[in-house]
Structure 1
């Protein structure tokens, strides 16, 4: 994607795997350049993540790292995967409601921090 992003850009599948293992909470935002929904959703997700500094996040352009589709069973974009202590705890794809995302993030952060 050409627009500026607050999400760190993933460089490899190995980098993602390392963060899944090392971060307490880790969000992966998967997209493709030709996806208009991806472009519209990205700034909303970035804004939402400002409320959740405990969630480390990365952006994946699936054309740059195509093996992510198979590794994470991604069939459509945008897709958001949230990992807590190495386990996938949330998955949303295609039509993502920001309000629902915020509710899910709040719930998961509270569970992890309690």
Structure 2
């Protein structure tokens, strides 16, 4: 499951929208869903739009692995951080990723553990 967590973080850290869409096509199901306290979308285009909005709101920030992953069956959970490269994350979240039968991300359920005031 480390590979899928890396692919997930790579998707969020893609330097361009085109690179992000290529990673979505490679690692995410066509009908993938993403739900967190701020968004609920389905499909690669919807997920791409959420990622673009985060990049716009937090320019230059990167996602990193904070803890995990912990996996069983087709699910994995891990804690991630978002902040300037090489610095303590300003935002910390916890995601649960479920894979489809082809090993692609089918769904993500996210929670925010630490957010700035």
Q: TM-score range by the shorter chain?
A: 0.3 to 0.5
TM-score of the superposed pair, with normalisation by structure 2? 0.33
Q: Which is helix-richer, 1 or 2?
A: 1
User: Highest relative contact order (Cα 8 Å, sep 6+), 1 or 2?
Assistant: 1
